[in-house]
Structure 1
Amino acid sequence: MKLKYLLFGVALIGLTSFSDDNLDIKYTTTSKITNTVFQASDGEKLIAKSDCIGCHKLDKKLIGPSYLEIAKKYPQTDKNVAYLTGKIIKGGSGVWGAIPMSAHASLKKDDAKSMAIYILSLKK
């Protein structure tokens, strides 16, 4: 019985060591059509690690608007980047409905700016 568990463990380790996953390139994807590599922006990575995903999605309204709705409403200008950076840090309410967005006061201004630039870059 112990031999079976030992062989199972060795087989499992062997199979997982041959996987195609490259853990160092966590946010990189490759297009199979053109073989082009797309690297996620700093803003996208920060959003993925934050609590933003609890209220916002890329293309669907949850509690707050989708990132695409925000990008559609605000053109990518320095004024709008500064405005959204402030909204991310200070929070706010009334623009998209009655439910307020919580403040993220511990977030660095440069990080919030990267997030705002990423969101506004989604406009099609």
Structure 2
Amino acid sequence: MFLTTEQMAQMVLEHVDLPYTPEDLAELTRVGGALEVEQRRRAKQREQDLLGSVLRELRAEAERDQAEYITARDIYRTVRDDLETTEEEILRVLVFLQHPFVAAVREGAKGSFALAARPDVAALRLSSIAGALKTK
């Protein structure tokens, strides 16, 4: 399958925000492969959007005068109109953000969570992990 220069240019721009995997690039050479790659990219973008939404809700709660721990259900109720998701997906994001490598959230009582660090600090931790992957 041949790609137009416009398609290639668009792919380069997309790669900056959400990098293609080697499998994606190989798939693009197959007939019909572009559709499969696009579906995977939409799913990855959706996951990134969910991660951002969860962090925004945690930050909004942390900035309240009477900040409290919030649950996946609390977040779900806030984002469900804007994002197609489930409480289970939100909980998976919270557990990921709680991992010691990220340490962006801490768990309270009964499955409730709060920011443990500013999101930019968590981003720096993730960036350092990415840097470790790049080393030779």
Shorter-normalised TM-score: what interval? Answer: under 0.3
- Which structure carries more helix by proportion? 2
Which structure is higher in RCO with an 8 Å CA cutoff and minimum separation 6? 1
Q: Structure 2-normalised TM-score?
A: 0.24
Larger Rg belongs to: 1
